[in-house]
Structure 1
Amino acid sequence: MTFRPALALLLGLTVTCAFAQSAADLGAGSQRKAATWPLKPDATQAQAAQLSARFLTRFHYDAQPLDDAMSQKIYKAYIKLLDPDKVFFTQQDMDQFAPDQTQLDDAIWNQDLTVPFGIYNKFLQRAVQRMSYARDLLKGGFDFNGDESYQYDRKDATWAKDDAALNDLWRKRTMNDWLRLKLAGKGDDDIRKTLTKRYSNYIERVKQLDGEDAFQTFMTAYANTTDPHTDYLSPRAAEDFAIQMKLSLEGIGAQLQSRDDYTIVFSLVPGGPAEKSGKLKPGDRILGVGQGDSGPFTDVIGWRIDDVVNLIRGKKDTTVRLEILPADAGPDGKHEVISLVRKKVNIEESAAKKKIIEIKDGSGVRKIGVIDLPSFYSDFGARSEGDKDFRSATRDVAKLIGELKTAGVQGIIVDLRGNGGGSLAEADSMTGLFTGKGPVVQVRDARGQVDVQGADNTTPLWDGPLAVMVNRGTASASEIFSAAIQDYGRGIIIGTPTFGKGTVQTLIDLDHYSQNPDGKPQYGELKMTVQEFFRINGGSTQIKGVTPDIAFPSNGDAKDFGESTYDNALPWTHIAPADYKVEGDVKAYVQQLDGEHDARVATSPAWKLMLDQLAQYKTMRDQTSVSLNFAKREAERKQQDALQASFRDRQKAIDGSDAYLKDQDGALDDGLDPGERSLKTELQQQKDAKDAPDAQLREAAHIVSDEVDMLKTDPKAATVILPPGSDYLAQLVVAAAQKPAAAVTSAKPAAAASATAAH
């Protein structure tokens, strides 16, 4: 879990909450109080900061003293969290903060957070000033006939000299907001109305930031300074993290979104109380929340979305009442009151899923199963309590493997693209579903002691052709799984180099170590790095990640995303290999499979379209500024429009679809921010994104299909690639015995053979 910095909360425009969830019964007075400026730290926060420091300076894997040197690093990280684009503070502010750089360690040790809170208060003041200035500029409009430009990528920019210089930056920023809407066809009156509302909403969001936000931001800066993956989690953030790991919650099963002064229902969880009731629907506006059958309603208009969620959450089988303004009713429409009983809600959207891709070629149709795993989740609480039905990624994937085998698949792809990790234990056990019993990962602690961890299941559930898809977003536990599959020779790794996170974190409940008499969570948790993991071959995924056996084109984000981009990442190293036995030698045939892949994509319209779109994405991403001249921007937009039209035509020629183009980075800009489009539009965009053609996944299925053909036509390849004693291998032997000998020894298709030779 990564904390969203204050600027992201401010400028992100939408704060889409997790599903209404909880484990505590909350009354109408349980919400956070309205922020009173200037914000001031409380004693609990000061104690939590000092307690965190004690752990970080003694038990962190790379423990570092909290001194003046560390204070300067924390200061740098804190300012970056608050103002990463240098659009709120000026160089004059930086000069004013300069003496604070070496005071943050003292603030923590002395339990006096006045200095970091003072910086946060200045941020709040500056944010309101800048937004108010931008709003005032709208009254006069702008002249777009000049030759000015706006630099929107400011990560490497210097601080504005003073208020006058920063005002000029905001003038250009506001001009660009206006011009985006103008290019999208909006008239001046509509533009002025849209931007006035946008900036006013910004200001209101700033005014809702409170002491908890200030403390969370500061502690995130400290935690991230020790290493990139150590985090501080407030009690609320800790609860959300637990929900992400177990993929279940107790609540009504509704995803909420903040729009203007309202909290609206964005979507309903299938099978949840809200969906089953038939009383709540997307677009409904929540005006008030009441507890139980008769508790008083609390008016939540204008509230922060997390405060609204805090009221809706509650224990399983308790009642919550919602006062709503139906989606189809006007502002003065009739209010309705609905009563819902909270239940356990499973978040299936984030769980493992399966599908089957059929690959047709000259030798018939191959069924390739795909298991999409977004994270390595596990309900630790239910497991520790002895619940036999506890939720876990391994259990879900095992079930899916069984279903795919029943469906007659001949190969399986485990899709880990974008899987940022999760439970180390789940990575171990899930590897065993494909390798059987044996070591999976080596873990070294701060004392240098190495522990070899592995899977306990003696027999794999799938021992046939296997591929693992990875990309730059594949990290941590996903890299452990991918590396083990590669080291065992058990499958082909396909995609782009992974993230490069080779460290292990543990959760420390600070309340457990505090003098907290009532037991109510108030100090939060530390997600602290305590170990480093290594591949069973002795190498590390730290920095380097996992290198695919067959490389796919990259979107070029490696320079901005990944472990290598962190200044304080641990270095790569290695240890002695574990005692393990390679189960196959798929790499002996990777060159042949890669050659067949190259030959196929060379004439694939879908692949060529993907490459052209990637090139366009890189071009757009590499830009750091835009012209503020209407004629120039209009010409650029027409050029972009023509390019997108050609993309749509090419996609329609391939499969008759253009849905995926409606939600891509290269699509035409409508000038609106998230939450400003209609709910119907946003829901459709989500659907289009899910339904988008995936050229890389389909090509991975082709590669696995090639392997299936190879195993069936080349007995030697089958004995080299598949594990000894493999059920899949036994089935191939039986099938071969039932066919004429010529079918077993037939040569590869001519195209594939020539491709191999050329490669």
Structure 2
Amino acid sequence: MRTKFGLLLVFLAFVSSAQALEAGSPPPLAPEEEQAKAAHLSAQVLTYYHYKKVPLDDALSEKIMNRYIELLDPERFFFLQSDIDQFMTNRDKIDDAIFSDDLSIPFAIFNVYEQRYVERLTYARELLKTGFDFSKNEEFTLIRDKEPWPKTTAESQDLWRKRVKNDWLRLKLAGTPEATIRETLGKRYGNSLARAYKYKSDDVFQTFMTAYTNSIEPHTDYLGVAAASDFDISMKLSLVGIGAVLQERDEYTTIRELVPGGPAQLSGQLAVGDRIVGVAQGKDGTLVDVVGTRVNEVVKLIRGEKDTVVRLDILPSDAGLDGKHRLVTLVRDNISLDKQAAKKSVQIVKDGDISRKIGVISLPTFYEDFDARRRGDKDYRSASRDVAKLLAELEKEKVDGVVIDLRNNGGGSLPQAIELTGFFVGKGPVLQQRNGDGEIRVNGNKRATALWTGPLAVLINRGSASASEIFAAAIQDYGRGVIIGEPSFGKGTVQTVVDLDEEARNPKPEFGELKMTVAQFFRINGGTTQLRGVTPDIVLPGFSDEEKLGESSYDNALPWLQIKPANYKPLGDIKTVLPELQSRHDARAKTDKDFKDLVEDVNELDDLRNKRIISLNETERRAERERQVNRLKAREAADGKGSVSQADLVFQEDGLQANERSLSADIASEKALKDAKDVLLDETVHILSDAADLTKVKSAKNN
């Protein structure tokens, strides 16, 4: 019976989805009462308490309108110019509407968006029936954010014809047979269409509020109830659940990873690739069919209170649609998200007859369990506590230097950045804060002595932001260590979280939260990381796109400013050894094959990014592909092995999207990247080894 019942659920889900697609546009979405109240309350808080006091008036209303349209259709593939003209008749009315608890304008725009979305994707599927002539000399504009909106339906259809033609050609160049191309693209566009029928009013409201908050300043955000919960989880690195990473694949919520030590892994009943088709609460709860349900909604059903029961109806990874289901009962527990926690490793650097041990601490985020700390929990989780333990371990291993790897660390807890800085500089100021009234306060730590006084390097890239920049800037200003990598993000603002339900004295979570900018921070030398970021002492190449990533990419970022320096005393002068460090790095860069390959990949990727227009002629595209393949083959022949890098994923593309590859292929690709040589970290370790050598030489001379 279970097999038949399970198959029936799957069948009904797909029939329901197919019927929806045949039914035309999705039903219109409408705002809910609490959303209108949340928008009004947000406007009051933002108007009076934001660092950059911007009144909600006609001028801001127009900015919100432009940003909202941009969020919905950033590459201008869906709306027509006539749609935009109609929307803009209300560009100066959003402010009055918010204060009147009226959200009809953004919802009306979204309903048009959904209609256009369905029209465009339906047309894309129709194009697959006939195929394309790739001998024609046509071009497709890849980056359309500055292109004009299509004026007519015919113009829009021609744009989509070229888009689908490019999708087809990418697969063809990868050697995919024509029948498989039709099947792959048919499924891709069909899945996209199905998503249009899953939107809810919360999605519209979240998008609109993002347009509003980001129109004031880039780092002010609205967090709905679900988003606020996710933010809390990311800060404390723990949640209550079953310990499974889930992914949506072809209408199924699929297990992508089992967290070691979690209920799912310990049960021995679940495996990567298993599909969750039903969820039930408690030992006797009714199974709820979740086939075709968005993965975030399935996650909500699976998470819950500690020590409570959740039951999962599982279609095993190796079973077909009519395969035998398995009912799994799990007890929810605390899950530690250790992947985002600080980790250490030790690398050996050989310099002639001398070997040096360099400790590396990777810190993905400045996390802190605020609630546990407020409760007085002595064992609360935080970045500084974890790093302190790792530093003690590295000292026992007698390392000669320590690298703090902050690449792609987007920030987090400000107190954690201050505390972490104290581990390397001891007592003293770390940053200066200026609030909206212009008052300046110096923040520092009271740690009497540093935990690590030996050679230090901080590795950053364009993804290092906020708290990462505070730490790197303080280390640089104190002359305590060498900063290596790419210029950082350039986020020099401080945010606080405002609970709108607390503001409204609302007993239950309905209105969400505001992550609102309340201050700007400055370096202790008087400068700021705002807009310009932290400039490394030794610059390394990277794959970041500076035009799209970083504070300078925002059109309304706060300006760079300077104030008086704080009262601090430098602890060292790294500048005295920088010329020699740079010279040794340059010499390695000229001879190290891996580093030379990295530079080549970075340059190649930059060239690809600069191509806004691409040919749809098969002969031209095939010649370009063969050039890339021959380049990588030549590299492989030179060192006797293949190369795995971020750039290779572009150069060796198969035309597939991430969820179109098999799960095993995705996981294998991730593992290959994880296991690939980290050229930038290796060079950073060598630079720090050089710094340790030069510091010893300098110290010997002084003595």
Equivalent residue, structure 2, for 1:647:
635
Equivalent residue, structure 2, for 1:440:
430
Equivalent residue, structure 2, for 1:704:
688
What is the CA–CA distance in structure 1 between the aligned matches of 2:150 and 2:312, rounded to whole Å? 47
What is the CA–CA distance in structure 2 between the aligned matches of 1:135 and 1:677, rounded to whole Å? 20
What is the CA–CA distance in structure 2 between the aligned matches of 1:322 and 1:271, rounded to whole Å? 19
Equivalent residue, structure 1, for 2:144:
154
User: Is 1:680 aligned to residue 670 of structure 2?
Assistant: no
Question: Deviation digits for residues 653-680 of structure 1, max 9, x if unmatched?
Answer: 5xx5x36248734331211111110000
Q: How does 1:36-51 map to 2 (within 5 A)?
A: 37-51=27-41
Structure 2 residue matching 1:711: 3-state secondary structure: helix
Structure 2 residue matching 1:288: 3-state secondary structure: strand
Question: Is the 2:577–2:694 contact (alpha carbons within 8 Å) kept by the matching residues of 1?
Answer: no
Question: Deviation digits for residues 500-553 of structure 1, max 9, x if unmatched?
Answer: 11000000000101252xx32110000000000001111111111111111122
Closer, same or farther: CA 687–554 of 1 in aligned 2, 3 Å: closer
Q: Residue 560 of structure 1: CA displacement?
A: 2.5
Question: Deviation digits for residues 683-725 of structure 1, max 9, x if unmatched?
Answer: 11111121121111111111111122223333257x7xxxxxx
Q: Residue 646 of structure 1: CA displacement?
A: 2.4
Q: How does 1:423-462 map to 2 (within 5 A)?
A: 423-462=413-452
Question: Deviation digits for residues 415-468 of structure 1, max 9, x if unmatched?
Answer: 111111111100000000111111101111111111111122211111000010
Q: Residue 555 of structure 1: CA displacement?
A: 3.9
Question: Deviation digits for residues 371-406 of structure 1, max 9, x if unmatched?
Answer: 111111111011111111111110111111111111
User: Is 1:525 aligned to residue 509 of structure 2?
Assistant: no
Closer, same or farther: CA 422–574 of 1 in aligned 2, 3 Å: same
- Letter matched to residue 682 of structure 2: R
**Equivalent residue for 2:648, pick from 640, 664, 671:** 664
TM superposition score normalised by structure 2: 0.95
Structure 2 residue matching 1:530: 3-state secondary structure: strand
**Which shows bigger deviation, 176-185 or 125-134?**
176-185
**Equivalent residue for 1:77, pick from 63, 67, 77:** 67
Q: Residue 603 of structure 1: CA displacement?
A: 1.6
Equivalent residue, structure 2, for 1:624:
612
What is the CA–CA distance in structure 2 between the aligned matches of 1:628 and 1:226, rounded to whole Å? 41
What is the CA–CA distance in structure 2 between the aligned matches of 1:502 and 1:152, rounded to whole Å? 32
**Which shows bigger deviation, 80-89 or 687-696?**
687-696
Structure 2 residue matching 1:102: 3-state secondary structure: coil
- Letter matched to residue 425 of structure 1: P
Percent identity among equivalent residues?
Answer: 53
Q: Residue 649 of structure 1: CA displacement?
A: 3.5
**Equivalent residue for 1:264, pick from 254, 258, 262:** 254
User: Is 1:539 aligned to residue 527 of structure 2?
Assistant: yes
- Letter matched to residue 357 of structure 2: K
Question: Is the 2:67–2:215 contact (alpha carbons within 8 Å) kept by the matching residues of 1?
Answer: yes
Q: How does 1:55-94 map to 2 (within 5 A)?
A: 55-94=45-84
Equivalent residue, structure 2, for 1:757:
none
RMSD over aligned Cα atoms: 1.5
Equivalent residue, structure 2, for 1:553:
541
Equivalent residue, structure 1, for 2:124:
134
Q: How does 1:130-529 map to 2 (within 5 A)?
A: 130-516=120-506, 519-529=507-517
Structure 1 residue matching 2:660: 3-state secondary structure: coil
Question: Is the 1:471–1:497 contact (alpha carbons within 8 Å) kept by the matching residues of 2?
Answer: yes
User: Is 1:593 aligned to residue 601 of structure 2?
Assistant: no
Closer, same or farther: CA 662–82 of 1 in aligned 2, 3 Å: closer
- Letter matched to residue 672 of structure 2: D
What is the CA–CA distance in structure 2 between the aligned matches of 1:631 and 1:660, rounded to whole Å? 27
Question: Is the 1:659–1:691 contact (alpha carbons within 8 Å) kept by the matching residues of 2?
Answer: no
Structure 2 residue matching 1:557: 3-state secondary structure: coil
Question: Is the 2:605–2:647 contact (alpha carbons within 8 Å) kept by the matching residues of 1?
Answer: no
User: Is 1:570 aligned to residue 558 of structure 2?
Assistant: yes
Structure 2 residue matching 1:241: 3-state secondary structure: helix
Structure 2 residue matching 1:394: 3-state secondary structure: helix
Q: How does 1:602-617 map to 2 (within 5 A)?
A: 602-617=590-605
Question: Is the 2:314–2:327 contact (alpha carbons within 8 Å) kept by the matching residues of 1?
Answer: yes
Q: Residue 95 of structure 1: CA displacement?
A: 1.2
**Which shows bigger deviation, 130-139 or 141-150?**
141-150
User: Is 1:691 aligned to residue 679 of structure 2?
Assistant: no
Question: Deviation digits for residues 323-352 of structure 1, max 9, x if unmatched?
Answer: 001111111110000111111111111111
What is the CA–CA distance in structure 1 between the aligned matches of 2:40 and 2:27, rounded to whole Å? 24
Question: Is the 1:620–1:666 contact (alpha carbons within 8 Å) kept by the matching residues of 2?
Answer: no
What is the CA–CA distance in structure 2 between the aligned matches of 1:410 and 1:330, rounded to whole Å? 56
Structure 2 residue matching 1:142: 3-state secondary structure: coil
What is the CA–CA distance in structure 2 between the aligned matches of 1:662 and 1:328, rounded to whole Å? 31
What is the CA–CA distance in structure 1 between the aligned matches of 2:485 and 2:227, rounded to whole Å? 33
Where in structure 1 are there 5+ consecutive unaligned residues? 1-34, 720-732, 734-759
Equivalent residue, structure 1, for 2:16:
none
Where in structure 2 are there 5+ consecutive unaligned residues? 1-24
Structure 2 residue matching 1:121: 3-state secondary structure: helix
Aligned residue pairs, count: 679
Closer, same or farther: CA 431–649 of 1 in aligned 2, 3 Å: farther
- Letter matched to residue 636 of structure 2: R
Equivalent residue, structure 2, for 1:582:
570
Question: Deviation digits for residues 283-319 of structure 1, max 9, x if unmatched?
Answer: 0000100111111100111111111111101011111
Question: Is the 2:78–2:120 contact (alpha carbons within 8 Å) kept by the matching residues of 1?
Answer: yes
Question: Is the 2:342–2:364 contact (alpha carbons within 8 Å) kept by the matching residues of 1?
Answer: yes
What is the CA–CA distance in structure 2 between the aligned matches of 1:291 and 1:97, rounded to whole Å? 44
What is the CA–CA distance in structure 2 between the aligned matches of 1:646 and 1:694, rounded to whole Å? 21
User: Is 1:102 aligned to residue 53 of structure 2?
Assistant: no
What is the CA–CA distance in structure 2 between the aligned matches of 1:389 and 1:36, rounded to whole Å? 50
TM superposition score normalised by structure 1: 0.88
Question: Deviation digits for residues 140-185 of structure 1, max 9, x if unmatched?
Answer: 1111111111112111111111111000000010111111111111
